[in-house]
Chain A
């Protein structure tokens, strides 16, 4: 997540761990195969806002370590 530049897209390949947090991410609709766009980063290494389909969510990139992403654009 840290390596994706603002404005670009990525596809969720898989989750490398299953816990209640990754379960919640999937329940939000971040299922494998979903394409996300990184909308913005908060200053000073703060949280990021991502968009997928008709949702916008914010999370801390360094806490999303178990989401395997593939850059697509």
Chain B
């Protein structure tokens, strides 16, 4: 057994180690445990598509650790695999060739990991093997023989149970004490360059020798009998979606009301304690009204995050991809595209990045181009604000809220339009070679409360940070633009009239009114126009602009923003706004990531252009359609 040096000299140079392994073998879980970081983990192949870097500290020894995307072999087939292989060969521009590798193997599927090892051994990098889920081997009555494995692989082997923390301390110590050795130390021959069949033969023989695992996990088989059933499967899928949209309104409203009340009393406190003037106005009508209008939607954002996280961690995402593959095929895409598209319902940015798991470049570009049409979390506040203002909270058949159904309709409208656009792209500019669909279905795993809690915590932090920085800054700018130049209202005007006159004559009012003619055909007045324009910095700004513009009305009438909006905006205009937000790409970060992932400005420009065209066209249709229907 390769020994660990007892003492490491204090001048030990800093070491760079990389985590290597097959997709979905648990690298990111180990990475988080070792570095104390909170990288995203999930139960589907391709969660990590970009190397993540962190540090392992033990006894003042620091090791730099990279979490690399998973790979099946050293002959890459997808962009994320190509990246990992380049790093291992020392051919990645930005990342150094690692000094050592922590090779992560999936205990319940050793063959595949050992096959990868047979190819990897050719690089002869100092290595340490961590075998995950050894509890799975033992639970099925198997044994895990780490000594035999060390002899066969030529490197130290540590068994781990990630979610219980077993073996992690040993792993940390090995990393800190440089307990790595080169695969060439193996006692027997490893078939490094002898072809896939010979390598698998070796992997299978060794897997059978060191660990006895059952053929398949029976829980997964039982659950799949329901979730992938030709009839029950789609019903479950639809029921999960319905539950989600219903919960957005049913569960979030009480919390939302509480947050709203909190901001309301904060505004009152400022109004009563601070002397009337610029400072009071900035705080009350600028900051609190602007930021508060957005923060109110935190519960909805958390429900959305909870749903997506549970689906990802449980292993349902890959199943959904299997079920929708046929539908995707109609639009020229395949099931794999479904994973980035589904992630885009949280945010298009991780969605665009996870498109790296798609082997076909044409499919990848098409998927990236349609991600902005998937309804992201930033649209949720806009939708919920307008839906609660305009759609009655009636229950259909006693349990289906109409508001939930309308929201679901907006999500479907975006999704379906995206697929139609994909069809157009696939039959014009991205015509040709189709790459086959191939995907692994991971075993189901129950999400740990810890990981779900941290995801929610992280999302809350992110949302509040954005509200406290971007939205706050924009709110102050918009407030200032709305406050100056000062307009003297006639003495007989009421506070509401005075405020609206001020806004109308301010810089903001002037901008809105100048651009109003462009948006008038789709039913936007100058106030809505300002909100829509502000949204090009971040979509939530619409809500914050509405909060500011109508803040006087809200505080004077003791009503909330939703009831004030109902009288301020007509139904056709509200519908037109909703449809505009379904289509328009109003997000700087998305454009920047598209540029980075496609390596050209051509694609972000195309995406921005076509979505704007769609948004304007659809709003035009909806506005005039609604007006002729309801006068």
Contacts and interface: CB of A to CB of B under 8 A. Distances in A.
Q: Report if A and B associate in a common complex.
A: yes
B196 A26 contact: yes
B440 A57 contact: yes
A53 B111 contact: yes
Interface of A: 20-21, 23-29, 31-32, 39-47, 49, 51, 53-60, 63-64
Contact of A46 (B197, B213, B325): B325
B305 interface: no
A31 B197 contact: yes
Contacts of B335: 47, 58
A31 B200 contact: yes
Given A58-B439, A64-B436, 16 more contacts: A24-B72, A24-B77, A26-B196, A26-B197, A28-B112, A28-B438, A40-B224, A42-B325, A46-B323, A46-B325, A54-B108, A57-B438, A57-B440, A58-B318, A58-B440, A60-B325
Contacts of B230: 40-43
A60 to B, nearest CB: 5
Interface of B: 72-73, 75, 77, 108-109, 111-112, 115, 196-197, 200, 204, 213-216, 220, 224, 228, 230, 318, 321-323, 325-326, 329, 334-335, 434-441
12 contacts: A24-B73, A31-B196, A42-B230, A42-B325, A49-B322, A49-B441, A54-B108, A56-B220, A57-B440, A58-B322, A58-B335, A63-B434
Q: Which 9 pairs of residues, A with B, have the shortest CB-CB distance?
A: A46-B326, A63-B436, A56-B441, A27-B73, A43-B230, A26-B196, A47-B325, A58-B322, A54-B109
A36 to B, nearest CB: 12
Given A21-B438, A47-B335, A59-B437, A54 B196 contact: no
Contacts of B197: 26, 31-32
A56 B336 CA distance: 15
A71 to B, nearest CB: 20
Contacts of A25: 438
B213 A54 contact: yes
Nearest to B228: A40
Q: Is the interface of A mostly helix, strand, loop or mixed?
A: mixed
Contact of A44 (B326, B436, B440): B326
Q: Which of A41, A49, A64 has the most CB of B within 10 A?
A: A49
Contacts of B440: 28, 55-58
Nearest to B334: A60
A60 B323 CA distance: 12
Contacts of A49: 224, 228, 322, 441
B196 A21 contact: no
Contacts of B115: 27, 29
A53 B109 CA distance: 9
B214 to A, nearest CB: 8
A53 B207 CA distance: 12
Contacts of B204: 53
Nearest to A44: B326
Nearest to B441: A56
A51 B315 CA distance: 17
Given A29-B111, A54-B213, A42 B75 contact: no
Contacts of A20: 75, 77
A47 to B, nearest CB: 5
Given A32-B197, A49-B322, A23 B75 contact: yes
A58 B325 contact: yes
A64 to B, nearest CB: 7
B197 to A, nearest CB: 5
A64 B437 CA distance: 9
A39 B222 CA distance: 12
Nearest to A20: B77
Nearest to A62: B436
Contacts of A59: 436-439
A57 B441 contact: yes
A60 B334 CA distance: 10
B69 to A, nearest CB: 16
Contact of B326 (A27, A42, A53): A42
A43 B437 contact: no
Nearest to B71: A27
B438 A54 contact: no
B44 to A, nearest CB: 12
A72 B108 CA distance: 27
Q: Which of B77, B196, B214, B439 has the most CB of A within 10 A?
A: B196
Contacts of A64: 436
B441 A47 contact: no
A24 B116 CA distance: 12
Nearest to A26: B196
Given A29-B115, A49-B228, A43 B216 contact: no
A39 B323 CA distance: 14
A26 B115 CA distance: 11
Contacts of A44: 326
Contacts of A26: 196-197, 200
A63 B329 CA distance: 12
Nearest to B214: A54
Given A29-B111, A60-B325, A54 B437 contact: no
A34 B145 CA distance: 25
Nearest to A48: B322
A40 B220 CA distance: 14
B73 A57 contact: no
A27 B435 contact: no
B200 A21 contact: no
A16 to B, nearest CB: 15
A51 B443 CA distance: 12
A54 B216 contact: yes
A64 B436 CA distance: 8
B109 A57 contact: no
B336 to A, nearest CB: 10
B196 A24 contact: no
A29 B323 CA distance: 24
A41 B224 CA distance: 12
